[in-house]
Amino acid sequence: MDDALYQQLQQERLLNQVTTQIRQSLDLSVILSTAVKQLRQFLSVDRLLIYQFELEYLSTVEAPELDGGGERTLEQSSQFLGKNVPGYACGKVTYEDRSSQEILSVLNLSEDQHCFKQECSFLDKYRQGFIKSVSNVEHDYAHTPCFIEFLKQFQVQSLIIVPIVVQDNLWGLLIAHQCLKPRQWKTMEKRFLKKITQHLSIAIHQAQLYAQLQQQKQTLEQRVRERTQALHDALLGAQSANRAKSQFLATMSHELRTPLTCVIGISETLLRYSGEQQANQKMPLDKQQRYLKTIHDSGEKLLGLINDILDLSEVEAGKTVLQISEFSWSKLVHQSLNSFQEKAQNHQINLTSDVKIKPHQNRFTGDQERIRKIIFNLLENAIKFTPDGGRVTLKLKVDNNIAILQIEDTGIGIPDDKMPLLFEKFQQLNSAYDRQYEGTGLGLALTKQLVELHGGVIHVQSTTGVGSIFTVHLPALPLMSQKPQGEITESPFKTSLPSVYLNSPRRKCVLIERDEETATLICDLLTASGYQVVWLMEGFTAVKQIELLQPDAIIIDLNLPGQFSHEILNQLHHQPQTQKIKILALTYESCFLESKVNLSFEYYDCLVKPIQPDELLNKMIALKMN
């Protein structure tokens, strides 16, 4: 009785030590290694170890069906543990403590692929808490000689195996070996080992939760770092934009002030000479002409600057519509060179052309004015950055309905580090505060936008001190009168802007819309597309005004207060002079449902709000062609 009580007290003391260790530490390796050492000493066994399964593998393998007896066969369990996977071990010994150096170490040992089938058959039982004790391995494993040899290799004569189950998953096995002599395992020892493994299961689960928490913490920290970096990048972007704005304002201040100063100064001089006080003095005629030409040139420069800004803003807002027509390449090139010939001669620059097109390739379809603008911008840029005595050449050839324009110069060239800024708005290669060349930095940005609007691409090759070659590829765009909408060929180049174009004479359109913002957008788009738009905010007198105006199309908001929109449509349909007018309805609902309601109209289409510019223009083109 005294021995049993003593043993129980010792067990309680060891349990308290393990529990205290679990409470004091979250380091699982420390907890398990300490528990293995203390438990081996308490049980007085020769070797005590923890065999840990690869839980990631077990959790992803679907267990095979049970045989008729309700248990898995050896082959099924072996397959479940991954025995048929060459070179794969389902676990290994991760913790070990030995009574002496005479006892061989099994640390990091994995089971033998064939001999371990004996233990595989107990897998389900272990998961349910089964404790296996073997007093004599030669007797209990007599039917598995291979496994006996495996155990003898490591001096095992008796063993006890207690499962470590964590959250209903078999995490590992606590195994005690008696090596020097056989041993009979007591029931009290089994119960005690079961309690120990329950505490270890708590420690393991606690460590897993802590590891998950640490992982979440690291993930959160990484997200914070990424977000901080994103905010930092955004700040740098904002600072860069602010610097670009400051440079642009400085540039614009210079570009506006210079011609305005000339206009104001020279006009004041002319006014002084024309006043009463200077009536007896007359300015020489050639000087007057020179002054007037300076005023005219300054005005042209200001107008060009304002037009560049407006053109760029219209392109970016999607309000620019290409006016497609047929034109002559040779005539356009000749006119472009003549426009810059005087400026080139003033700087002793040899301005030439190299046009390699066949007679049948001379006629081209596209927006002639926008293409002229592209050529002008590139020629002006080339002449501006080419030193006196240099050469600028305009080259042209047409291949498979794609025009290839090249502006080649012997100018200062573009440094490699400045290439990414070349087509950016308000960017110049020299500082706005230390300027050697005039300009706003809008020319090339606008050129790129116009090229892409035309469905083309632009790229540049440049060598510092040698010169630059700007190459533009422009596909021929079909005349709308020659091709139906469904047959229009898309541009072969990938661009950031949609190509929107019309070539018809101005058409009348009535817009019935109460929302001012929507109406303004539609008016601007259609006006730029060549339409004459009449905007009606109220529907009371709409029918009478439509009868008077006889528009080509009507755009009407179906969500007007009351039933005005449907009443207007009904009246238009029943009056002979308006029933053939094309209708484009604006709605927040499905266009399919609206089409069902208005099948009576011969030309009827629908557009869902909010308005997309390209979709609106495509709808209008489709109505026009019908």
pLDDT value at 168 more than 90: no
Instruction: Give mean pLDDT, residues 440-454.
Output: 80
Mean pLDDT across 223-230? 91
- Residue-level pLDDT at 602: 64
Residue 412 above 50 pLDDT?
yes
The SS3 call for residue 460 is strand
Residue 465 region, left (φ>0) first, then alpha (ψ -120 to 50), else beta? left
Collect all residues with Cβ–Cβ distance below 8 Å to 92 and sequence separation of at least 6: 51, 52, 108, 109, 110
Beta bridge partners of 142: none
- Mean local confidence (pLDDT), 305-322: 70
- Rounded Cα distance, 99 and 103, in Å: 7
* pLDDT tens column, 362-385: 999 888 888 998 999 899 889 988
**Percentage, residues of the chain above pLDDT 70:** 77
Provide the sign of the torsion angle of the four alpha carbons 274, 277, 279, 285, taken in this order. negative
On the question of pLDDT at 174 being above 90, the answer is yes
Instruction: Output the CA torsion 325→331→336→337 (10° steps).
Output: 170
Q: In what order do the strands lie in the sheet with 391-399?
A: 350-356, 391-399, 402-409, 467-475, 457-463
Closest by Cα among 438, 443, 474 to 458: 474
**Which pLDDT does position 217 carry in this prediction?**
92
pLDDT of 315 higher than 80: no
Q: Is 610 helix (H, G, I), strand (E, B) or coil?
A: coil
Residue 503 has pLDDT above 60, yes or no: no
Contact between 618 and 324 (Cβ < 8 Å): no
Burial class (CB in 10 A: 0-12, 13-18, 19+), 496: exposed
438-452 average pLDDT score: 77
Q: Show Cβ contacts of residue 313 under 8 Å, excluding neighbours closer than 6 positions.
A: none
Residue 599 pLDDT exceeds 70? no
Task: Give CA–CA dist 29/503, Å, rounded.
Answer: 80
**Token output for 103:** 């006892």
How far is it, in rounded angstroms, from Cα 532 to Cα 512? 14
| Amino acid 164: pLDDT | 92
- pLDDT score, position 623: 75
Angle between helices 443-453 and 285-316 (to 10 degrees): 50
User: What pLDDT, on a 0 to 100 scale, did the predictor assign at position 162?
Assistant: 92
Does residue 47 carry a pLDDT above 90?
yes
In the structure encoding, which two tokens stand for residue 32, read together?
């398990």
* Mean pLDDT score, 82-110: 75
Average per-residue pLDDT in the chain? 78
Greater pLDDT, 495 or 534: 534
At residue 176 the predicted structure's pLDDT band, cuts being 50, 70 and 90, is: very high
CA distance 51 to 65: 26
Looking at residue 446, its pLDDT comes to 83
Confidence of residue 390 (pLDDT cuts 50, 70, 90): very high
Mean pLDDT of 205-220: 89
